[in-house]
Amino acid sequence: MALGDDGEPPIWLGHFEPDGTWVPVCAVEGVDGSCWTAHGLSEEQCAELRAWVPDKVQVVDKLPATWKAKVVADALG
């Protein structure tokens, strides 16, 4: 999953491991200094994701119960 403006490199929000585990990017710093996480996207960010790659991007309100979250050590350090 990624978010990026036209012509700009995307910001990766996370990825799936081969075993199906979702590994989120713990924090993304915005240009204005704001900080958000892959599981706390605003409505505007969700709309941008849907418009950017509608056939490849899935925006969910919460991770499905079948997904296993992976804690990334030193994600913010």
Has residue 18 got a pLDDT over 60? yes
Report which DSSP code applies to 57: -
Partner residues linked to 29 by β-bridges = 35
Contacts of 16 (CB under 8 A, 6+ apart): 22, 23
- Residue 1 banded pLDDT, cuts 50, 70, 90: very low
pLDDT at 32: 75
Q: What is the rounded distance in angstroms from the CA atom of residue 26 to the CA atom of residue 73?
A: 10
So where are the chain's domains?
2-52
**pLDDT of 21-45, one tens digit each?**
766 665 556 677 666 665 556 677 7
Q: Are 26 and 75 in contact (CB under 8 A)?
A: yes
Amino acid, single-letter form, for residue 19: D
